[in-house]
Structure 1
Amino acid sequence: MKKHILAFSVALLAAGAAHAQSDDTLAKIKASGSITEGVREASGVLSYALGNGVYTGFHYEVCANIIHDVQKQLGLSNLETRYVPVTSANRIPLVKNGTVDIECGSTSNTLTRQTEVAFADTLYVEDVRMAVKANSGINSLSDLNGKTVVTTTGTTALQVARQYKRAKNVDFHEIFGKDHSDSFLLLETGRADAFVLDSQVLAGRIAMARNPKDFKIVGETLSVEPIAIMIRKNDPAFKKAVDGSIARQVRDGTVARLYDKWFMKPIAPSNTTLNLPASAATRAAWENLNDKPAEAYKVN
């Protein structure tokens, strides 16, 4: 009997140690000499794939700088970055279960999500609108009556669209793309009349389309949402390191330069320009760094 109790106690101690290790990302990074980054393959200019396992984008570059600062903090001569492509549907579970240490995509910081994960300080504040074909005649959300609207599975845009549908008594059919590329393809091929999502993702998909002039972003702002880098909950040391790097990048002008590079200048692979100046809300976030959720923001 005592042997069984001892074995059970050892098992509990081992499980507790494993859990503690998973909640101490800095210790995990130092012990393994590697960090695992969640990246997106088509999240506008925040994070996207160039092919052959190469990723880039605004949040991707911010995260590269964070990882470099973490390496210096830990005194590591080398730190390997391992990339895991994530989707809107699996990004939160992969952060929670320790598969991904830091997710550098286009995740909205919401109160509901804060019960499962933590967010770094916000560097980009997004508005949710819709993309349509330029010749569709759709200019407002009220024009969606009887139309088909696509959103990407696992995004907050779905809830926002449904709220509008109920509030305005607009009857539209909902379909879902498995990722942003799939959602845009549904719009491009005429299977959807409108694609509702973050404006910068919509602008990025349009910029990379075969004929960008065939599409436009229209309609009212459905919601204003802080988009932030995601990490595990209950890991104050890692959050402090991440937020400290972000503060440094704001302070020395890195963030402003990266924003100009990705939102105001031609980007690969299409060499097109989004021409999306930093909004007042985004600039306010830089000036007063915080991790407030979307519910703290109001639609004007």
Structure 2
Amino acid sequence: MIFRTLVAAGVAASCFFALPAAANESTLAKVKQTSTLKLGYRENSAPFSFVGDDKKAHGYSIDLCMRVAGDIAKQLDIPKLDVQWVPVTAQSRFEALKNGEIDIECGNTTQTLARRADFDFSLMTFVDGAALLYRRGENPKSLADVKGQRIAVVKGTTTEKAMEQLVASEKLGILLLKVKDHDEALAALQNKTATAYAADRTVLITTALLGGDGQTYTIAEHQFTYEPYGLMMRRDADLRLAVDSSLAHLYRSGEIGPILQNWFGALGKPGELLMVMILLNGLPE
């Protein structure tokens, strides 16, 4: 009886200690085994990630992830990789990665040291900064001019944290209207629930152009954050290296040019900071 008990305990213990290994199986090994790669995308973060009229994911980050997926398929010798697109929000993207619902998040997520404590990030994919969008003719000269008024900001973003710190430090009495996404923020600006909308400059420009309903807007010149975007993943050195290798070749070869032109050409020539980012991240083999 004692022998049986010891054997049972040993089996239970071996199963217990085997769990972390299974849980920590590398993403690339899982992709190889299942021939499936799950990519998360934002539904309304144009021009980086959004749903088109065909109900499919489109955008700058989507194109980068498709390039990454193709290179991973070649690396793992997978004849037909099943790329599954999973919608996420600014709030759900982190849990989706932790829970294994997605393998890579393809949006406009800012790399921060706090986020790097929990997730891996690729080489930088874009450089932006937060600004304020106003209705045309209502652009104040400074934040002091919107004292006591509402500024819309999407929950779960770095802009939300930046605005909270800015409001607290300046003691302006500004009220933050925290919304779920860019569409809701623009609606608040249109119906005058908010005086301004705080978000990354490129997102503001594109959101206003696509969803303006004929209204015209002004973007404040002042840029109050630094937003280095990257593709976000679970902590996995092999996957990160595969993603970085793909992006570095894309930058180094110049093949990133047509992709940039396709998604940002209408906004004018790429800024010098973005071009330097591409040059610095085109790492040699």
Band of TM-score, shorter chain: over 0.9
The verdict on how the C-alpha distance between 1:262 and 1:237 changes in structure 2, with shifts beyond 3 A counting, is: same
Amino acid of the structure 2 residue aligned with 1:254: E
Alignment partner, residue 113 of structure 2: 111
> d(CA) in 2 for partners of 1:82 and 1:99?
10
C-alpha distance after superposition, 1:190-209 (max 9, x if no partner): 11111101111111110112
Alignment partner, residue 23 of structure 2: 19
Is the aligned partner of 1:9 residue 2:19? no
- The residue matched to 1:89 in structure 2 has which SS? coil
C-alpha distance after superposition, 1:230-274 (max 9, x if no partner): 1111x111111100000111122121221111111xxxxxxxx3x
Amino acid of the structure 2 residue aligned with 1:256: G
Is the aligned partner of 1:283 residue 2:272? no
Q: Which has the larger radius of gyration?
A: 2
The CA deviation at 1:83 is: 0.8
Amino acid of the structure 2 residue aligned with 1:283: M
- The residue matched to 1:288 in structure 2 has which SS? helix
The CA deviation at 1:145 is: 0.8
Alignment partner, residue 252 of structure 1: 253
Q: Is the contact between residue 140 and residue 219 of structure 1 (CA under 8 Å) also seen in structure 2?
A: no
C-alpha distance after superposition, 1:127-176 (max 9, x if no partner): 11011111324343232212101100100111111222123222211111
> d(CA) in 2 for partners of 1:4 and 1:283?
62
Instruction: Indicate the RMSD between aligned Cα atoms, in angstroms.
Output: 1.8
Single out whichever of 204-213 and 24-33 deviates more from structure 2. 204-213
C-alpha distance after superposition, 1:95-154 (max 9, x if no partner): 122211010101000000001101000021011101111132434323221210110010
Alignment partner, residue 183 of structure 1: 185
Sequence identity, in percent?
Answer: 25
Normalised by the length of structure 2, the TM-score is 0.92
The CA deviation at 1:52 is: 5.0
- The residue matched to 1:196 in structure 2 has which SS? strand
> d(CA) in 1 for partners of 2:169 and 2:282?
31
Alignment partner, residue 87 of structure 1: 89
The 4+ residue runs of structure 1 with deviation greater than 3 A are 210-213
The verdict on how the C-alpha distance between 1:290 and 1:189 changes in structure 2, with shifts beyond 3 A counting, is: farther
Alignment partner, residue 232 of structure 2: 230
Q: Is the contact between residue 48 and residue 55 of structure 1 (CA under 8 Å) also seen in structure 2?
A: yes
Q: Is the contact between residue 38 and residue 85 of structure 1 (CA under 8 Å) also seen in structure 2?
A: yes
The verdict on how the C-alpha distance between 1:102 and 1:120 changes in structure 2, with shifts beyond 3 A counting, is: same
Q: Is the contact between residue 134 and residue 218 of structure 2 (CA under 8 Å) also seen in structure 1?
A: yes
- The residue matched to 2:30 in structure 1 has which SS? helix
